[in-house]
Structure 1
């Protein structure tokens, strides 16, 4: 039982760390090896100073939707972890962790929605002045997609987990 509990907590922490990284890092879209875009800024690598120079991305409704959904996903997953730790102490013996699983499932659904919106509306999000065909999805976008099944799996595990003494 202890191994199961530790593995569920580790799965939750790994998915939360991946979500947090995917939300904040700068590689949702890669134009060239020296130019990237993310949810918050456009960056390019200045060869003369050997520094990444970033500017705030032009906001539109689709981008704000993706930003809000990714932040909500991190919040739901964080709340889920805190609620789980609280429920470990206060839930009576034999109870199930429904609320924790529900929060984790909502985190998965919001992450899924954000990735889907970014996939279908990348041209509007990245700006019409650039040719989207000259770039590709970055590692943080892929990491956000990988979080979707992890969040749903941990949500299902929480719902089926029964508190024992």
Structure 2
């Protein structure tokens, strides 16, 4: 039981860190490994000054929905972890972790919706005169996709997890 609790806790912390990094870092789309766009900024290389200039991302509706869903995912995952820790010490024997699992599943679904929107609406989100074929998805986008099954599986683990004893370990 102690091993399962440690595994679930570690999995949750790893996925929470990954979702936070995917939300805040600067590489959802890259061009030529120098210029990049994320959920919050768009950085373009200026040849005349030989610098990377970053500006706030355009506020179109698709981008705002991706931003909101990713922030919501971080919030749901954080709430899930806090509630899990509280339930671990307060839930009676054979108690279930339904709320933690549901929150984690909602975090996974929010991340899934965000990456789907970004995948299919990237032309409208990026609004760049350059061809999208000259760019590619960045590591934060891939990290968000990796988070989806991890969040969903940890949520399912929480739903099936049952507290065996009244004390931890």
Question: What's the TM-score once normalised by structure 1's chain length?
Answer: 0.95
Q: CA deviation at 1:164?
A: 1.6
User: For each residue in 1:79-138, what CA deviation from the matched residue of structure 2 results, as whole angstroms up to 9, or x when unmatched?
Assistant: 000000010111111011000000000000000000000000000000053321211100
Question: 1: CA distance between counterparts of 2:36 and 2:139?
Answer: 11
1:31 is aligned to 31
Partner SS for 2:27: coil
1:58 is aligned to 58
Question: 1: CA distance between counterparts of 2:50 and 2:101?
Answer: 45
1:21 is aligned to 21
User: For each residue in 1:19-78, what CA deviation from the matched residue of structure 2 results, as whole angstroms up to 9, or x when unmatched?
Assistant: 000000010001112100000001135688876431111110000000000000000000
User: Is 2:159 the counterpart of 1:162?
Assistant: no
Aligned residues: 165
What's the Cα RMSD here?
1.6
Partner SS for 2:30: strand
Question: 1: CA distance between counterparts of 2:69 and 2:75?
Answer: 10
Partner SS for 2:163: coil
Structure 1: unaligned runs, 5 residues or longer: none
- The verdict on how the C-alpha distance between 1:123 and 1:163 changes in structure 2, with shifts beyond 3 A counting, is same
| 1:1-165 paired onto structure 2 within 5 Å | 1-45=1-45, 52-165=52-165
Partner SS for 2:64: helix
Question: What's the TM-score once normalised by structure 2's chain length?
Answer: 0.92
